[in-house]
Amino acid sequence: MTSQHRLGFIKQADGNLIISSVQISKPLNGFVMFACLVIMISCSSVQTKVIPAEHTDENIDLAPRWTGSSSTIDSTISSPPISTIKLKANQFPNVDNTPLLARPIPTISSTETSDSSYKIGYEHYRKGEYDLAINELTDAIQLNPSLSVAYWVRGLSYSRKDLYEQAITDYDMAIKLDPQEPKLYRNRGMVYHKLNLERQALHDFSEAIQMDSNFGAAYRNRAHSYVTVGRYQTL
């Protein structure tokens, strides 16, 4: 009579392996039974580490995929032989094969550095650090003489330091580069007003209003200039 034996193990949800059983129709001798028992006892004490799905090889696509057998690898995605990796340089004519040390050092464009200086200068202006702002904005202008906003903010910085002549010079240049910006005319008009040059101030305030009919600050500034020159009927 053929004896039947059940042996095996099952992996639990927590990662532990427990002894289970399968049905074996062939008789087992004592040595085989002993060996199986030792294997099952050893496996039952092993705990497996659960790896999050986002860190598995399948998701990061680094390892070859299994075809279903632990001894067979899908050759269609396995690593190529070393011999096929050693390719000649002339097989890729568009690749720069010049040694790295012999290549020219990449340079940063003046536009990038001028923008950086402008941003630093603007931050200094915003913090009330007008001397530092003027220095940075001057660097920005030297690197990019067409950067209108650098003249604009440097003009503001000069005005805060009561350097009105320099402020007007910067506003003149900013307006030349950006003639359709009403705020520049209003700012220059404010400087003219501080210099008691009301005719020039009124001209700039009116230019700003003509460009932007909703420019409330320019209306108020112009009204103040009208009062200064005694033109009350034009208010």
* pTM of full prediction above 0.75: no
Residue predicted with more confidence, 66 or 100: 100
Look at 72 and 139; give whichever has higher pLDDT.
139
Assess whether pLDDT exceeds 50 at residue 59: no
Provide the domain limits for residue 31: 5-44
Task: Look at 47 and 186; give whichever has higher pLDDT.
Answer: 186
Mean per-residue pLDDT, 117-146: 96
Q: Is residue 168 part of a domain?
A: yes
Residue 217 in tokens: 């600050």
Tell the residue number behind the tokens 């705020």, with chain if given. 183
> Is the pLDDT confidence value at 198 over 50?
yes
Name 97's Cβ contacts closer than 8 Å, sequence gap at least 6: 89
Identify whether 228 is part of a domain: yes
pLDDT in tens, 6-46: 545 444 545 554 444 445 555 556 655 666 565 555 544 44
Indicate if the pLDDT at residue 186 is higher than 50.
yes
Same domain, 10 and 122: no
Contact criterion met (CB below 8 Å) for 211 and 180? yes
What's the number of domains the chain is made of? 2
**Pair (115, 223) in one structural domain:** yes
pLDDT confidence tier of residue 112, bands split at 50, 70 and 90 = confident
Query: Which backbone phi and psi does 8 adopt, to 5 degrees?
Result: 150, -170
27, 10, 176, 135: which is closest to 184 by C-alpha? 176
Question: What is the pLDDT, as a whole number, of residue 79?
Answer: 42
User: Of the spans 35-39, 47-51, 101-105, 166-170, which averages the highest pLDDT?
Assistant: 166-170
Q: Tokens 């199986």 map to which residue?
A: 36
Q: Could you tell me if 224 and 116 lie in one domain?
A: yes
Q: Does 150 map to a domain?
A: yes
Same domain, 40 and 114: no
Whether residue 35 sits in one domain with residue 148 = no
Task: Identify whether 131 is part of a domain.
Answer: yes
SS (H, E, C) the chain: CCCCEEEEEEECCCCEEEEEEEEECCCCCHHHHHHHHHHHHHHHCCECCCCCHHHCHHHHCCCCCECCCCCCECCCCCCCCHHHHCCCHHHCCCCCCCCHHHCCCCCCCHHHHHHHHHHHHHHHHHCCCHHHHHHHHHHHHHHCCCCHHHHHHHHHHHHHCCCHHHHHHHHHHHHHHCCCCHHHHHHHHHHHHHCCCHHHHHHHHHHHHHHCCCCHHHHHHHHHHHHHHCCHHHC
pLDDT for 153 equals 96
Structural domain contains residue 102: no
Whether 24 and 136 share a structural domain:
no
- Is pLDDT larger for residue 46 or for residue 206? 206
Q: Are residue 28 and residue 117 in the same domain, yes or no?
A: no
156: its two tokens = 């503001």
Residue 105 in any domain: the answer is no
Band (pLDDT 50/70/90 cuts) for residue 113 is confident
Do residues 23 and 126 both lie within one domain? no
Q: Are residues 215 and 123 in the same domain?
A: yes
| In a shared domain, residues 126 and 227 | yes
Is 91 part of any domain?
no
Residues 12, 127: one domain? no
Query: Is 82 within a domain?
Result: no
Q: What is the average pLDDT score of the chain? A: 72
Give me the CATH number covering residue 219. Answer: 1.25.40.10
pLDDT cut 90: percent of the chain above it: 48
Question: According to the model, what pLDDT value does residue 145 have?
Answer: 95
Residue 10 Ramachandran class (φ > 0 left, ψ -120 to 50 alpha, else beta): beta
- Rounded to an integer, the average pLDDT of 210-214 is 97
Cα–Cα distance, 154 to 168 (Å, whole number): 10
Residue 133 and residue 226 share a domain? yes
